[in-house]
Amino acid sequence: MRIIIESDAAAAANRCAALIIDQIQKKPDSVLGLATGGTPVACYQVLIEMYQEKLVSFAACKSFNLDEYVGLAGDHPQSYRHFMQTNLFDHIDIDPAATHVPNGLAKDYEAYGEVYEQQIADAGGIDLQLLGIGTDGHIAFNEPGSSLGSRTRLKTLMPETVQDNARFFESIDEVPRLAVTMGVGTILESRQCLLMATGSHKADAIAAAIEGPVTCQNTASALQLHRDAIYVLDEAAASGLKRQAYYRSSEEMHRKIVEQGL
């Protein structure tokens, strides 16, 4: 794993955006896995600014989002489809038909999960998957106890997740208790995983994911098994890591290697 520790949340957002742009520049028709929640908004804002400055184009890209609330139509103001339109898609040149967000109104979620998996496969697989992390260590809506080999499916949300997401709704009673989500196994098939975390409230989850055992009780820990996983953290989110000095020196060495073209 590559651990990048930035000074603050803004610097972390800039670094994440730079890594995504680098992926698109290397492969203009990249398949991007995208995330929702509070953390990636700043990254998306940087991507929008870079697009407006004509430094990147998303015209040939495809995207697949991690998850969606069950029971919310795409035009619901708290749906993840609406989130993506508002915070990214409406402001860049990506083809609307190339953007995929799970259907929160599917009739048969077992069958729908297979359809979503096939759509990803038909697109050639995900080149870069952007991830956030919950305070309990979950990625997407793969709550603690989720199988590390899981696929896209229906998932019941933990009370802690409902509480964390209540800030986006008028009351906690309005927060859906079910979601359709990519599985951990689905995520691990991405060619590169990029997890962004900011804030001291994520420090314990990050420390467990990076330096703890691989366990379904912290599904982000499964990224230890991935061949190309990158964590981009601010100082606060990294504060629980015991090997910070090594991660910083390793990233400095990575920078020098890139500069020297080795």
Among candidate residues 68, 117, 127, 136, the one labeled active-site is: 136
Active-site residue flag, 143: yes
Neighbouring C-beta atoms of residue 9, cutoff 10 Å? 20
Active-site residue flag, 254: no
Q: Which two tokens stand for residue 111?
A: 């069958």
Among candidate residues 143, 164, 226, 234, the one labeled active-site is: 143
Active-site residue flag, 204: no
Among candidate residues 6, 67, 117, 234, the one labeled active-site is: 67
Neighbouring C-beta atoms of residue 34, cutoff 10 Å? 26
Active-site residue flag, 136: yes
50-85 as b/e, with b when 16 or more CB fall inside 10 Å?
A: bbeeeebebeebbbbbbbbbbebeeebeebbbbbbb
In angstroms, the CA 51 to CA 78 distance is 25
Among candidate residues 138, 164, 226, 234, the one labeled active-site is: 138
CA distances from 129 to 72, 134, 231 (A): 24, 16, 12
End-to-end CA distance of the chain: 19
CA distances from 37 to 23, 40, 70, 215 (A): 22, 6, 16, 23
CA angle, corner 40, sides to 6 and 159, nearest 5? 110
The residues that are catalytic are 67, 136, 138, 143
